[in-house]
Amino acid sequence: MSEFNEFDQQGSVPNRDTGSIISHAFEMYKGIFLYAIVSMIIYVIADSILESLVGFNLWSFGENIRDSDGDISNYRYYYSPGFSLYYSFSGVLGALLSPIYVGLIYMTNKYNNKATIEFSDLFIGYRQNFVNILIYSLITHVVLRIALAMCGIPFFLVFPFFLLGYPILLFENASAIDAMGKAYNIAKDNYGTFFVVSLLGLILSFCGLLACCIGVLLTGAFMTTVMYSAYCAYLGKPRQITYNK
């Protein structure tokens, strides 16, 4: 087993405020930027394979948005061929790929500790605590999708409660339920900060969509460093952890 329970309060740790956490996340993101792009490429390839299997074209949806100048009120994309299957299985795909996001958090911690980052670190989530990461991700996808279906606004209200889940699963080797409970309790007691941090993180992560969707490869994984920085702010910077390869 890996050592997940030691913490080092020295080093790069942001204050418990929105500006400090986001600034810290930017600094961390610069250190894992290339690996973040790789993670997004993996996701795009996997998503493209899923689209081809179910017969749904997500790119055409983006084109319809651009052609309508952002007004999609009359566009019933959920009637598009293959959309139901795509919507159902994309959540499963997201859960299966979630260990890669955990890997980015692990890389961020190595960068913060000035340790050498290896490409294999990106896949630590498949070797360490995988079952709990998968369970947590599936539960998260279900809850957030339900929230998103409720006019979208509840999604932004609920998301902060999941901000610390992945770092807790990684650094504390917690179970899915324990990670969810701990993340919820911390966010509940600091909801204002967590809400603004989550909102800014989501906006910055998806701002790449404005660049013909291709730019999301550059920004899509930014939320992982936001999660790490928020974890450091409220629970301390983890020591460099080791695991059995």
Residues 6+ apart with CB under 8 A from 123: 99, 100, 103
Q: Is the pLDDT of residue 41 over 50?
A: yes
Name the band, by pLDDT with cuts 50, 70 and 90, for residue 230.
very high
Higher pLDDT residue, 129 or 211?
129
Q: Is residue 245 part of a domain?
A: no
Contacts of 12 (CB under 8 A, 6+ apart): 24, 27, 28, 112, 232, 237
Determine, yes or no, domain membership for 210: yes
* 30, 60, 102, 153 from 97: Cα distances, Å: 22, 24, 9, 26
- What confidence score (pLDDT) does residue 244 get? 56
Look at residue 100 and tell me if it is in a domain. Answer: yes
d(CA 220, CA 37): 8
What pLDDT is recorded for position 181?
Answer: 96
Task: Locate 142 and state its tokens.
Answer: 């279900």
Q: Assign 50 a pLDDT band (cuts: 50, 70, 90).
A: confident
- pLDDT at residue 7, rounded to an integer: 44
Please report the sign of the dihedral spanned by the C-alpha atoms of residue 139, residue 142, residue 144, residue 147.
negative
- Nearest CA to 43 among 143, 139, 122, 146? 122
More confident residue, 107 or 239: 107
Are the C-beta atoms of 106 and 32 separated by less than 8 Å? no
54 phi/psi in degrees, rounded to 5 = -100, -10
Distance CA 239, CA 31 (A): 17
Q: Is 163 inside a domain boundary?
A: yes
- Give me the chain's average pLDDT, please: 83
Least confident range of 56-60, 89-93, 130-134, 147-151 = 56-60
Distance set, CA 94 to CA 21, 25, 40, 115 (Å): 26, 23, 12, 29
| Alpha carbon distance 225, 241 (integer Å) | 17
Q: Write down the pTM of the prediction.
A: 0.85
Write down the pLDDT at residue 134: 96
Q: What is the residue range of 145's domain?
A: 7-238
% of the chain beyond a pLDDT of 70: 78
| Contact (CB, 8 A) for 214 and 6 | no
Residue-wise pLDDT for 93-137, tens only, equals 889 999 999 999 999 999 999 999 999 999 999 999 999 999 999
Is a pLDDT exceeding 60 seen at residue 222?
yes
Report yes or no on 2 lying in a domain.
no
User: Would residue 113 count as lying in a domain?
Assistant: yes
Could you read off the pLDDT of 152-201 as tens digits, one per residue?
Answer: 789 999 999 999 999 999 999 999 999 999 999 999 999 999 999 999 99
| 82: in domain | yes
120 domain residue, yes or no? yes
Classify residue 66 by its DSSP letter.
Answer: H
Q: How many domains does the chain divide into?
A: 1
Handedness of CA 143, 152, 95, 137 (dihedral sign): negative
Report the 10 Å Cβ neighbour count for 103: 25
For the cut 50, the answer to whether the pLDDT of residue 4 exceeds it is no
Which of the pair, 99 or 10, is modelled with greater confidence? 99
Query: Which helix (H) or strand (E) is 7 found in, with range?
Result: strand 7-8
